[in-house]
Structure 1
Amino acid sequence: MSIRDTSAQDRPLAASAGRMPRRRLIAIGAAVAIAAAGIGVVAAWRAGGQSISAERVRIAEVTRGDLVRDLSAEGRVISANSPTLYTIAAGTVTLSVVAGDAVKRGQALATIDSPELRSRLAQEESTLASLEAEADRAELDAELTRANARKTLDQATIDRLAAQRDLERNQRAFEGGAVAQIDVARAQDALKKADLGLAAARQEHALQGRGAGLDTRNKRLQAERQRSVVAELQRQVDALTLRAPFDGQVGQLMIAQRANVAANAPVLSVVDLSVFEVEIKVPESFARDLGIGIPAEVSGNTGTFAAAISAVSPEVVNGEVAARLRFTGKQPPALRQNQRLSARIVLDTRRNVLMVERGPFVDQGGGNSAYVMDGAIAVKRAVRTGVSSLAAVEIVDGAKSGDRIVVSGSDQFGDAERIRISGE
């Protein structure tokens, strides 16, 4: 007995005109996928052959508004007056205070024991006393010289007067026939001799007075010079005691008690607690915009206080420039050295300008180009940027309000003119 199969039951069915076979559907779907991939490849090729994920870039929209150019920085409170006191001479230092002590103006802070300087002062004082004595002696000698010259002048005056009288007596006697003509001639010669002696005495008196005055003046000048030397040494000896230049607080001690130090060595610093400044550091790109007198605001736990830039460092350190702010009005209470405060400097305000979020694109394109979005394609376009703040940059030309610019991540594009941004 054989088993019959189902071949007698099978019969072919005619293909339905409105239904497509499954294999054809698969083939058509594969063709569509291939065509779509080809279109994507062509689009990518037209976009420059690259595609960058939107997650790797930052895109910002160009808007119109007020651009406030300001700086925000953390500041450090420093004393506007914090001098360091130095030794005037080598010696042993005895400290009278410790770090942190409150001091008053003129209070002794440290004393330097310098036997050498004190010995020099004593020697110079002795020399001064000797020169002053010589000056007094020169003045006395000048008086004696003038007195002798005056005596000689007076004697010559009397001799001339006597010669004049003798001549008059001889003339009267000659007229009366009592004396001879020769006696009158001798009297006339004596008068002329007396006149010459009087003139010489007068000249000598003047010269002796001038000479004596010059000697006295020279001795006095030597004494004055020595007095200046003694005054300077006395100043140095007085400076051996270091005193507080103002009311304040002892800052740092640079030496130990009873230490032997050289001349001009730092001993300690004194901090003026009544005048403080705030030191800030700003990026190098803003250094040219800073100037003395530009207003600022300093904020702390006790409120906001007006200030102004008082100094700007001429050098750049680690890409930053140091500046100092000085309070223009009331100073915040209870400030402490090295306390941290927030500072804000308003440089400029531009009204109704096109601006976009600030990003690395400004430096990468030199401010002359940027990638502007055209749909999903970033197109390199020539733009011109203006001033910038910490948060935004002004767009002068090359973009309009509503445009979207790649502000960060464009360094991945190389020199491509068009880049596809996938995920946009």
Structure 2
Amino acid sequence: MLVGGILLLALIAFVLISSGGNSKLNVDKERISINTANKGIFQENIPVNGVVLPITTIYLDALEGGRVEEKFVEDGTIMEAGDPILRLSNTDLELSLVNQETQVYNLLTQMQISQTAARQNTINRLNQKTDVENNLIEAERVYKLNQRLYEKGAIGKQELIESENNYNYQNQRMELAEEVLKQDSIATEQEVNQSKNSYSRTQKALELMRKKVEDLIVRAPVDGQLTSLDAEIGQSKNKGERLGQIDVVSGYKVRVDVDEHYISRIYTGQQGTFNMNNKEYTVEIKKVYTQVNNGRFQVDMNFVEEVPEGIRRGQTLQIRVALSQEKQAILIPKGGFFQQTGGNWIFKVSEDGSRAFKVDIQLGSQNTEYYEVIQGLQPGDKVITSNYDNFGDIQELVLD
């Protein structure tokens, strides 16, 4: 019984020791990815997709509504400023122009008639003044003559008084004629100025109406390429409706969509890089659109120094936008392990390469290629970076 008890205790101890060890799994090295932690230059960045757009786009809207009568060019044509694109017709607008022109001509005729009447009236006033002036001269002569004759006793006092009264009367008439002529001159000047102002306003209205009729011919506002032309012969267009656009082809920019998670870390002046035709190019953020739609916001980036040869509007570029400055850090390549571990632990390979053990780590920032290791690994450590889906809760891997 004593021997049996000892054997039972030994069996229990063996089971406890066996169950307390690490669980193991044999893994084929060919089916996993093993990488080395290295110390190098690290820069946090995010991958984004950008669409190449013209540096400037001018939209063509119908300034006046009408029916498309004629198309002078087709979509994609290179235009110069002022070149006609299409012609609209608007009978009501053209009729309004005719009425406005008639109104201007009628007003001009009325002005001419009014000026002629004013000049005739002035002439009549001047003739009246001349008659009054002549009568005054004659009355003055008679009065002075009668004064001398009265002094000599040749005439009576009654005749002297009569000539004096006539002289005073003609003086008053002369003053009145001068005042009438003065007021007539002022009234004529005011009437002329009012007529000129009225004519000027009507003329401006006519010019505006002519400009509206001229706007029925849609022209290129700047040099560039006509794109997105949406107009066919016989089609009716409302005022303000989009007809197309002119792309200024003197340069290009890149419109980029960014996840709203990074909105506080994106600002003008930040740079990004992309590869094209085995060459790296640099772009820089020039404008940030802070409006968020469907969890994303947009930025415009301009090319720095060199633009890739053969780049085209609408082309998609895969850009790496830098979020930090370069620094020295311990790096491990990105891999599928992160989906299972969340970056909290990783399988580290033993020095002889025969086994791999779970070790706790702490990761920092990341870019499109690497994770930054803050603690848990040293340069030269080998780790398994491939997917851990088949490992379950295994603590140790035996590498075959």
User: Under a length normalisation based on structure 2, what TM-score does the superposition of the two structures give?
Assistant: 0.71
Q: Rg bigger for which structure?
A: 1
1:378 Cα deviation (Å)? Answer: 7.3
Residue 283 of structure 1 is matched in structure 2 by 259
Say which of 95, 101, 111 aligns to 1:125. Answer: 101
Cα 1:79–1:99 shift into 2, 3 Å: same
Distance 1:237 1:159 in 2: 63
Deviation digits for residues 356-389 of structure 1 (CA, Å, limit 9, x no counterpart): 999xxxxxxxxxxx9799x98979x9xxx9xx67
TM-score normalised by structure 1 residue count? 0.67
Aligned to 1:108: 84
Taking the TM superposition and a 5 Å limit, the aligned residue runs for 1:9-158 are 24-25=6-7, 27-34=9-16, 68-87=43-62, 88-158=64-134
Alignment partner of 1:402 is 2:378: no
Distance in 2 (CA, whole Å) between partners of 1:182 and 1:305 is: 119
Partner residue in 2 for 1:270? 246
Q: Is the CA contact 1:93–1:260 (under 8 Å) kept in the aligned structure 2?
A: no
Partner SS for 2:210: helix
| Offset at residue 279 of structure 1 (A) | 0.5
Q: How far apart, in 1, do the equivalents of 2:167 and 2:156 lie?
A: 18
Native 8 Å contact 2:143 2:160 kept in 1: yes
Task: State how far apart, in whole Å, the 2-side matches of 1:273 and 1:337 are.
Answer: 9
Deviation at 1:112, TM superposition (A): 1.5
Q: 1:73 to 1:377 in 2, by over 3 A?
A: closer
- 2:351 is aligned to none
Partner of residue 54, structure 1: none
CA distance 1:204–1:322, shift in 2 (3 Å): same
Q: Secondary structure at the match of 2:249?
A: coil
Are the structure 2 counterparts of residues 156 and 338 from structure 1 closer, same or farther at C-alpha, using a change threshold of 3 Å? same
> What is the aligned counterpart of 2:211 among 227, 231, 235?
235
Specify whether residues 354 and 218 from structure 1 end up closer, same or farther in structure 2 by C-alpha distance, changes over 3 A only: farther
**Are the equivalent residues in 1 in contact too, given 2:284–2:303 (CA < 8 A)?**
yes
Offset of residue 331 of structure 1: 4.0
Unaligned runs of 5+ in 2: 22-36, 335-342, 347-356, 378-392
Matched, 1:423 2:391: no
Q: CA deviation at 1:240?
A: 1.7
**Alpha-carbon spacing, 1:164–1:294, altered in 2? closer, same or farther (3 Å):** farther
- Give the CA deviation at 1:262: 3.5
Partner of 2:137: 161
For structure 1, the 5+ residue unaligned runs are 1-19, 41-61, 359-369, 396-400, 405-420
> Are residues 321 and 175 of structure 1, via their aligned partners in 2, closer, same or farther at CA, if it must alter by over 3 Å?
same
Query: Take 1:390 and 1:132, find their aligned partners in 2: how far apart are those partners?
Result: 77
- Paired-residue identity, %: 16
Residue pairs, 1:354-369, within 5 angstroms: none
Contact 1:302 1:332 survives alignment (8 Å):
no
d(CA) in 1 for partners of 2:274, 2:162: 108
Partner of 2:314: 338
> Counterpart in 1 of 2:388?
none
What is the rounded CA distance, in whole Å, between the counterparts of 2:39 and 2:167 in structure 1? 117
Aligned residue pairs total 353
Q: Do the aligned partners of residues 174 and 252 (structure 1) sit closer, same or farther apart at CA in structure 2, a change above 3 Å counting? A: same
* Structure 2 contact 70–87 (Cα < 8 Å) conserved: yes
Tell me how far 1:324 sits from its aligned partner: 0.8
